[in-house]
Structure 1
């Protein structure tokens, strides 16, 4: 184990590991939306119940965010990551054998418990292994995972559904996630002493919750996540509702995934040069609002391809910037704990947004209000970001 805090070339292996791990958690969570129209009739689910499967995932996801961060800061990231991914893999595979709403709901909670421990550990690993001047690109590459998860799941889930059925799709995705956990157990290393063995949990929480800029950054992340999880959950259903096939809807969301994959990379490299991440977040949110509304009123397939790419590129510019800002505010000592708390607050939006919008769809019978409710998120986030002062690194 390397404890000298030197930034060796092995940091790129660590980066590859955490990106793959984080991506696997998004593939498991986003395998569900493309399969809603196939599985919902089989399990006799309403649209609100179908949306609640995403909310169920985030119940578990929220529960483990903060404890996982504390454990990772105290004892290191390798065991936390490996066990979490294996748990998520087993529970996702088990969805293939569920026969009712309640069983599936419980399994989605368990999958969320595993996934919830991943981000804080990944953030801790990057803070350990990358100097401040490279953290923008490191977090930018890490934040490729959410969009890559959407991209891969929108290709993989319909393809597997056609080849081996929806049960086979869940089993395949679960197996991939479990294998990712095995790779982490074999190759993950630490690059810093666990400083919190000398510090108290109370001191860490006091530091984090009294840090105004850190907490406002968390609120901005909540606002952004309100939009992003709503789009990921309901865009496929919307596109199908205006007359396109499941495959065409998946193709549109693949373009959304491509935009979201490229955007954090660009943002990360740009931020390391400009050293002004707050401005990038403000630009991201300002562009996202009109693009979201335009997407919700478009009915041309070609235009939907273009808009899905553009909307994703705009919104995902902000993700790595918010996460680097949190990590820099916290420093190495509290990196995982702060990241866990931040992601917990972000993901409260993930818990309620899909369910709220599912209820709106059930109530109105259409998507007329959905896109306006989604756009409220980045609009509020923009206002919050105006009140944040970034610490330069």
Structure 2
């Protein structure tokens, strides 16, 4: 029988993972606020701004499959520590950038460093939590994105106003490097008995087995579309509020924290719902979230006041939290243990490709439509509707050993 961590150890592990995800999201979201004074200092054009935001997602996405494979090969503890330290180092170096080209280079390497964190975290949850608890563990971990988003908007705006964008990045980088050492010393393996049976010989899993999993393509497609929406809003809403709606810089950061607060609570509610009521039917929660997201995106595009914009953005954040939890829960519940890191890395790769595509695509759409944001909102609405259709086609099967995938195409 497979052994899992004690209650106290699970709480410690989740606390570490949660804080790591907070730092991860803060570091990637803060630039969406900082890019406004950065643009003024370096005289960035609209296309350069979009490229600066997208460059992280390009390198981050490229690192996902490799990061997942490295997690399965070297272990989650090693990869989490290396990832956190390296991306924090380049967050620190962002504060020393001297030109647009240097910013592009630093943000590109920053994305490579952060790449392994997500799949290694998924493997850590899979290793330490039984199947019936993985939905809640996963949703709590993912909800840290919202805390990072709150800090990456409201706190980042306040820090930029107080110590400048360079000081803000330097502070975040130093903090992350310190925390990385904490991960290495505290996230020590404890499951001795299980390792006696299973760790003498590490199972080698060919990458081609992932491509035999029928659901992997559906999950990849859904993740791509969901991140088109998520990162489209994350990257352009600060600019939209400040430049299009005339909201004060610091006030915009505070307003954008509201959807993150709602999303934090609903991420955890969605995990509880998944474990208690939706076992084997997770896809319906994803489809419902995508459909509701499309509705609120349409309302947001036609809102006539700042209050209504933030209200619909908050309701959309609640919808995103429901279908955002489902994908990785399906992976850690139903995929073979030997494939968890690689499958998570591959799906995250697709999501981060969307993170690279969405900011640039929205910037291009706004330019083509002479500064109008309506077409950009329709782009997001259509993405949500397509996601609804794909989510309904996902199958939920019980987890199988990786050897069962060698001679057939199976569903996750």
Q: For the superposition of Structure 1 and Structure 2, which TM-score range results when normalised by the shorter chain?
A: over 0.9
| Structure 1 ranges of 4+ moved more than 6 A | none
CA distance in 1, matches of 2:83, 2:200: 22
Map Cα deviations across residues 139-158 of structure 1 (whole Å, 9 max, x no partner): 00011122222111111111
Q: Is the 8 A contact 1:28 1:173 kept in 2?
A: yes
Residue 99 (structure 2) aligns with: 100
Q: How does 1:198-277 map to 2 (within 5 A)?
A: 198-202=202-206, 205-240=207-242, 241-274=244-277, 275=279, 276-277=281-282
For the structure 1 residues 96 and 129, does the alpha-carbon distance in structure 2 shift closer, same or farther, using more than 3 Å as the test? same
Cα distance change, pair 283–34 in 1 and its aligned pair in 2 (3 A): same
CA-CA distance at 1:51 after TM superposition: 1.7
Shifted more, 242-251 versus 315-324: the winner is 242-251
1:178-223 Cα shifts (integer Å, max 9, x gaps): 2221211111133464769543342xx2332111123211211111
Secondary structure at the aligned position of 2:5 is classed as coil
Task: Choose the corresponding residue for 2:315, options 310, 327, 338.
Answer: 310
In structure 2, do the counterparts of structure 1 residues 264 and 360 end up closer, same or farther at CA, with 3 Å as the change threshold?
A: same
Match of 1:8 in 2: 6
CA deviation map 1:99-151 (0-9, x unaligned): 21110001001111111110000000000000000011000001112222211
Q: How big is the shift at 1:170?
A: 1.0
Matching of residues 111-190 of structure 1 within 5 Å: 111-190=110-189
Task: Judge conservation of contact 1:298–1:304 (CA < 8 Å) in 2.
Answer: yes
Distance 1:197 1:221 in 2: 33
Following the alignment from structure 1 to structure 2, what is the Cα–Cα distance between the partners of residues 320 and 176? 28
**Mapping for residues 300-339 of structure 1, pairs under 5 Å:** 300-339=305-344
Report the alpha carbon displacement of residue 69 of structure 1 after superposing the two structures with TM: 1.3
1:305 is displaced (CA, Å) by 2.9
Contact 2:274-2:282 within 8 A present in 1 as well: yes
Secondary structure, aligned partner of 1:333: helix
Q: Which residue pairs with 1:359 in the alignment?
A: 364
Report deviation, 1:392. Answer: 5.5
The 1:42/1:318 distance shift into structure 2, 3 A limit, reads same
Partner SS for 2:337: coil
Partner of residue 81, structure 2: 82
Given that 2:4 and 2:130 are in contact with CA atoms closer than 8 Å, whether structure 1 keeps it comes out as no
Tell me, yes or no, if structure 1 residue 59 matches structure 2 residue 61.
no
Quote the residue 2:404 is aligned against: none
Shift of residue 55, structure 1, vs aligned partner: 1.2
- Which position in structure 1 is the counterpart of 2:294? 289
Partner of residue 384 from structure 2, selected from 366, 370, 378:
378
Structure 2 unaligned regions, length at least 5: 400-412
2: distance between equivalents of 1:267 and 1:95?
Answer: 35
Q: Cα distance, 1:58 vs. partner?
A: 1.1
Partners of 2:365 and 2:178 lie apart in 1 by 38
Deviation, 1:31, is: 0.5
Bigger mean CA offset, 262-271 vs 16-25: 16-25
CA distance, structure 2, for counterparts of residue 18 and residue 33 of structure 1? 24
Secondary structure of 1:200's aligned partner: coil
Q: TM-score, normalised by structure 2?
A: 0.90
Question: CA RMSD of the aligned region, Å?
Answer: 1.8
Aligned partner of 2:27 in structure 1 is 28
Aligned length: 389
Using the TM superposition, give the Cα deviation of residue 168 of structure 1 relative to its aligned residue in structure 2, in angstroms: 0.6
